[in-house]
Structure 1
Amino acid sequence: MQVRVYDTHVRTQDGRYLHFDVLVEPADADQAPAYTLRWLEARGIRAQDIQQSRCDFCHSEFASPPVEEALRQQGYAIIELQGH
């Protein structure tokens, strides 16, 4: 399964910096911002600023089994990179 990867940077209202990837199926690419907000809200994080970008070539990849399972269960997967 191929996925689109959105490189996401968030400044929270309490001053923290978070960096994570949002992975979605190509057909759901327009839902990446909504999935980002859903994930943040589920953790009680209030974003002040969200920057999200995607590169068609270097940020498209094949999903690992855990990512495929997350996509089946919730429509997206998150890979936390910085500021957990």
Structure 2
Amino acid sequence: MKIAVWDTYVTRKDGKIMHFDILVDENLKDENQIFEYGKKYLKSVMQEGQNLTSKECVFCHIDKAPVEVEKQIIKSGFAIIEMENCY
């Protein structure tokens, strides 16, 4: 499976900048759906309500998904790679 990687930087409630990637099937083009996946992730890490728009989240590139990422996308529609300050 090929995936689209959306590079995302969100200001946490404590002011630190979170950096994570939202991974979706390459054919998903609906930015609002991708932002909703990001908001779902933010809620799971107690950061709900933070801004997540095209200012914070931009398409980066297409890549080949590792098996575990592919399974997560098939199951949930998306996967997250946590980069910085996610906890």
Instruction: Compute the TM-score of the two structures, normalised by the length of structure 1.
Output: 0.85
Contact 1:5 1:21 in 2 (8 A): yes
* Separation (CA, whole Å) in 2 of partners of 1:64 and 1:42: 23
Which SS does the other structure have where 1:19 is aligned? strand
Instruction: Compute the TM-score of the two structures, normalised by the length of structure 2.
Output: 0.83
* Separation (CA, whole Å) in 1 of partners of 2:49 and 2:29: 21
* Separation (CA, whole Å) in 1 of partners of 2:21 and 2:51: 16
* Separation (CA, whole Å) in 2 of partners of 1:2 and 1:44: 30
Regions of 4+ moved over 4 Å: none
| Residue number in structure 2 paired with 1:42 | 44
CA RMSD of aligned residues (A): 1.4
* Count of aligned positions: 81
* % identity of equivalent residues: 33
| Residue number in structure 2 paired with 1:79 | 81
Question: 1:72: Cα distance to partner?
Answer: 1.2
Question: 1:79: Cα distance to partner?
Answer: 0.5
Any unmatched runs of 5+ in structure 2?
none
Structure with the higher fraction of residues in helix conformation: 1
